[in-house]
Amino acid sequence: MVALSESFSTMTIRTVTARAGVAVATTIAAAVMLLGACLPDRAAALDTRPPSTPVKLVFIHHSTGEQWLADGHGGLGRALRDERYFVSDTTYGWGSDGRPADLPSSRGEPIGSTTDIGDWWTWFRGPDAALYQAALATWSERSCSYSRRADPGGRNEIVMFKSCFPNSDLRGSASAPPPAIGSNPLRGQACGGGDFTVANAKGIYLDLLHYFGAHQEQLFVVVVAPPMQHLTAAGSARAFADWLVDDWLDAYPHRNVFVFDYFTVLTSNGGRASVDDLGRSGGHHHRMWNGRVQHRSAGGRSTLAYPSAGGDDHPNRAGDRKATAELLPLLNAAYHEWKGDARPPDVVGPQTYAPRRAAVRRGRSVRLRFRVTDDVSATALVSVRIVDRRGRVKTTLWLGRRATGSLQSVSWRCTLPRGRYRFQVLARDASGNAQVKRGATTLIVR
């Protein structure tokens, strides 16, 4: 597979590749006949602004999804709220005890408890799929705790779904052709075991396109299952994530499916598990960068870089915050591509300001104040860099997502030798454009 890909991968439409194979071409024969324009030609038109009016989104998840949504952890719920999405979700037990109804069970459990790759066939393609989807379209409740906006009414326009981390432990050859769905043993089955192969997983996702293609009234957001610290075949997991983002939709003629590579985003950090690499040029990402979609896994690990304290495979707060920040602009762009209402893209980077000089005694803390403005983005990824008199970078403070337009600050404990320095403010807007004006001022260390 491609180790480093810089691709405009959201909803890319190309001809069926040799990799997809004859079996696949047969499976989606109807789709192959309809080929549209590719996103690469339209990349300049990607609009990362939030929707102009509230949009209802339902998220099928459990476990890691609960933490990702939580205000005090991944902050996804609150970030979606702030960008005009009204979020509801399903988790363990959904579809039983009258929540929202007693729906047919899946593998002997409530449908909400089953979110493995094979279960997506049950949700979207199995004999009771119509019942599940009807209940899902009108579900407007929270199953977990997170901030959200007022219900705008109506049905869920966006269906987002995610398997949990055991689903990244795929086996088998990354290049084996997927079986026809009628003979795919993973249909309706849990992950793990001999049938949990890359080929069978591809077959499940290819079959889902029949449902998605028949439901243009909804946008489907496919979140790649997060990685674990130890994978039987990490290369196979990486290959599958790359296939979903780069190849799965090659022959799909519509724009109502978007893949977010939660797997790849969680496979690089900022040097240790508690520090993210948001906004850094290196590392593994699925984000807007310099005005384009960047899907990047430049070698390195294919396992979880953000284990929770104690060694648990649930992504920690730093990893989930990174995923939130990288997802939102892509989701907005996918929404506008689906709706066909994209406005001219944001091509102008932010301006940054450092309005107040600072002084600090060595070993003490100091508050560094800054402001970032942007023509479009309400938030920007900000870093503060401290350089010596010769312009050499002495330290960089990575501050993550910060609101634009208002005075902000960061407290920093100074360990630099006495002397005169400057602190510089760097920022990237939601489209990944770097600052066009860099604010800087003097920092005195006494």
Tell me the residue nearest to Ca ion as measured from the CB.
Answer: 429
Cβ nearer to Ca ion, comparing 313 with 429: 429
Smallest separation (angstroms) from Ca ion to the CB of 403: 14
Q: Which residues contact 18 (CB under 8 A, 6 or more apart)?
A: none
Q: Does 374 bind Ca ion (CB under 5 A)?
A: yes
Q: Taking contact as CB under 5 A, which single stretch among the options 100-108, 200-208, 351-359, 375-383 is the one that binds Ca ion?
A: 375-383
Smallest separation (angstroms) from Ca ion to the CB of 293: 16
Smallest separation (angstroms) from Ca ion to the CB of 138: 37
- What's the token pair of residue 214? 């028949």
Residue (of 165, 213, 202) closest to 64 by Cα position: 165
Alpha carbons within 13 angstroms on the beta-carbon side of residue 406 total: 6
Cβ nearer to Ca ion, comparing 169 with 346: 346
Cβ nearer to Ca ion, comparing 228 with 331: 331
Pairing of the two strands 219-223 and 257-260 = parallel
Q: Taking contact as CB under 5 A, which single stretch among the options 27-35, 104-112, 372-380, 390-398 is the one that binds Ca ion?
A: 372-380
- What's the token pair of residue 136? 């899902």
Cβ nearer to Ca ion, comparing 95 with 291: 291
**Residue choice 376, 381, 414, 425 for contact with Ca ion (CB under 5 A):** 376
Smallest separation (angstroms) from Ca ion to the CB of 430: 7
Q: Does 382 bind Ca ion (CB under 5 A)?
A: no
255, 342 contact by CB (below 8 A): no
Cβ nearer to Ca ion, comparing 276 with 346: 346
Q: Does 325 bind Ca ion (CB under 5 A)?
A: no
Sheet holding 440-445, edge to edge: 358-360, 440-445, 419-428, 379-387, 393-403
Dist CA 152 CA 159 (whole Å): 16
Q: Which residues contact 345 (CB under 8 A, 6 or more apart)?
A: 44, 45, 46, 47, 48, 291, 431
Report 342-371 residues binding Ca ion (CB under 5 A): 346, 348
Residues binding Ca ion: number (CB under 5 A): 6
Phi/psi of residue 195, nearest 5 degrees: -85, -5
Cβ nearer to Ca ion, comparing 128 with 375: 375
Residue (of 18, 51, 433) closest to 251 by Cα position: 18
Q: Taking contact as CB under 5 A, which single stretch among the options 145-153, 280-288, 319-327, 376-384 is the one that binds Ca ion?
A: 376-384
Give how far Cα 425 sits from Cα of 311, 354, 404, Å: 35, 7, 13
309, 316 contact by CB (below 8 A): yes
Smallest separation (angstroms) from Ca ion to the CB of 240: 34
Smallest separation (angstroms) from Ca ion to the CB of 343: 13
Ordered DSSP codes for 326-391? HHHHHHHHHHHHHHT-PPPP--S--EEE--S-EEE-TTSEEEEEEEEE-SS-SEEEEEEEEE-TT-
Report 420-439 residues binding Ca ion (CB under 5 A): 429
Smallest separation (angstroms) from Ca ion to the CB of 163: 35
Q: Taking contact as CB under 5 A, which single stretch among the options 120-128, 150-158, 338-346, 413-421 is the one that binds Ca ion?
A: 338-346
- What's the token pair of residue 33? 């006949």
Cβ nearer to Ca ion, comparing 406 with 411: 406
- Site residues (CB under 5 A) for Ca ion? 346, 348, 374-376, 429
